Amino acid sequence: MNLVINNLKKNFEKKEVLKDITFTFEKGKIYGLLGRNGAGKTTLFNALANEFEVDGGEMFLIDEMGNKETLSSENIGYVISTPVVPEFLTGREFLRFFIEINQHKIKNLKTIDEYFDFLNIEVEDRDRIMKDYSHGMKNKMQMLVNIIANPEVLLLDEPLTSFDVVVADEMKKMLRKIKKDHILIFSTHILELATDLCDEIVILHNGVLESVQNEDLNSAEFKERIIDVLKDENHD
In the chain, where the domains are located: 83-151+164-179, 198-236
Section 92-114 average pLDDT: 93
pLDDT per residue as tens digits for the range 3-22: 999 999 999 988 889 998 99
Give 19's contacts (C-beta < 8 A, 6+ positions apart): 9, 206, 207, 208
**pLDDT (0 to 100) of residue 77:** 92
Q: C-alpha angle 150/156/157, rounded to 5°?
A: 150
Least confident of 64-73, 81-90, 153-162, 223-232: 223-232
| pTM: predicted TM-score of the whole model, two decimal places | 0.87
66 conformational bin, left if phi > 0, alpha if psi -120 to 50, beta if neither: left
Q: Return the percentage of the chain with pLDDT > 90, whole number.
A: 53
Nearest-CA neighbor of 182 among 158, 231, 219, 147? 147
pLDDT per residue as tens digits for the range 24-81: 999 999 999 988 878 889 999 999 999 989 999 999 999 888 889 988 888 999 988 8
Least confident of 42-46, 161-165, 190-194, 217-221: 217-221
**pLDDT (0 to 100) of residue 13:** 85
- DSSP for residue 38: T
